[in-house]
Amino acid sequence: MNNNSKPLFTTGEFARLCNIRKDTLFYYDEIDLLKPEIIQDNGYRYYSANQLFLFDIIAMLKECGTPLKEIKEYLTAREPASFLTLMEENDKILSAEMERLMHIHRLMRNTIELTKHALRAEYNVPFLQECPEEYFIAMPFSTEYEDYERNQSETIKALLEYLEANLLGEEYPLGSIILKENLRFDEYKEDYYCSKLSSPIQNPLLFVKPAGTYAMLTHKGSYETLSQSYNILKDYIKKSGLQITGNSYEHELLNYLATGRSENYVIEISIQTG
């Protein structure tokens, strides 16, 4: 620190206070963004304590994604009105980023709970359960196209992009829905791909799963063996003196993201009965 009455810091001292490399200060000096307060005849460079606050503003704006060029323009013509505008704009950016991170955190926590549920479940044994009303963002899927797998991939991709763009969906992996009228077919092809919501929202893709009694089974095995579990579940419904009154919902608990072996996939199937 310099011996002047006003505290001054060498480049190294200032860089340590700001927790950055000296090269960053040299670059900021080169582009006239943050120049040393004093450059002595012998080439020694000193920064003032006030410039610590200036650096904090630069770091904050940079963290919000503001280009260095725009930061420099603001610092060149500082005045209260432009400062307020700049802070308000970056507050909006930070609020949006906080919302995005909160969404990711909810997604992660719910996925953790799904995985725990999958690991403690009893597999391939049907049972009845009263389920509350649930809500999904559901994207229609048609099996009529000749290239089934390509259409499937494109539908899933479109749903994932929609969820990301609108910060929707509370769990991962995705689920699927088979409409009641299609459950009579043995192929059990999906009519919708979906992602669960914690509460209903105004959205054209909202799909409501009614509250009621559901015949359920936690399938363990590959996608190719799902039809076997459906047949077990439909036979269980018949033997229980019930009828299929609604759709089927497939809820992936463990898929290729969690296990590299398809025989270890876990999918919860529920069919509305009455």
**Listed range (18-27, 57-66, 165-174, 218-227) with the worst mean pLDDT:** 165-174
Residue 17: per-residue pLDDT: 92
Residue that has been written with the tokens 């597999």 in this structure = 123
CA gap 101, 113 in Å, rounded: 19
Residue 272 is classified by DSSP as E
According to DSSP, the residues that pair with 47 across neighbouring strands are 9
Residue 5: per-residue pLDDT: 55
* Cis geometry, peptide bond prior to residue 204 (ω within 30 degrees of 0): no
Mean pLDDT of 224-248: 94
What is the pTM assigned to this prediction? 0.67
Topology at the third CATH level for domain 8-78: Multidrug-efflux Transporter Regulator; Chain: A; Domain 2 (1.10.1660)
Over residues 100-140, the pLDDT tens digits come to 888 888 878 888 888 888 888 899 999 999 999 999 999 99
CA gap 213, 130 in Å, rounded: 5
Mean pLDDT of 24-47: 92
Domain ranges in the chain?
8-78, 116-273
Kindly list the strands in the beta sheet with 266-273, ordered across the sheet, starting from the edge strand earlier in the chain. 127-131, 212-220, 266-273, 244-254, 175-178, 192-197, 134-140, 206-209
- Output b/e per residue, 225-254; b: 16+ Cβ within 10 A: ebeebbebbbebbeeeebebebbbbbbbbb
Q: In sequence order, what are the residues at sequence separation of 6 or more whose Cβ sits closer than 8 angstroms to the Cβ of residue 46?
A: 2, 8, 9, 10, 36, 37, 38, 39, 40
Residue 78: per-residue pLDDT: 78
In 3-state terms, what secondary structure has residue 180?
A: helix
Q: How many whole angstroms from its chain centre is CA 149?
A: 25
Over residues 193-211, the pLDDT tens digits come to 999 998 999 999 999 999 9
Residue 146: per-residue pLDDT: 65
Superfamily of domain 116-273: Regulatory factor, effector binding domain (3.20.80.10)
Q: How many angstroms separate the most distant Cα atoms in the chain?
A: 97
Residue 145: per-residue pLDDT: 59
Residue 1 has pLDDT above 50, yes or no: no
Contact 197, 128 (CB under 8 A): no
Residue 143: per-residue pLDDT: 64
Residue 46: per-residue pLDDT: 94
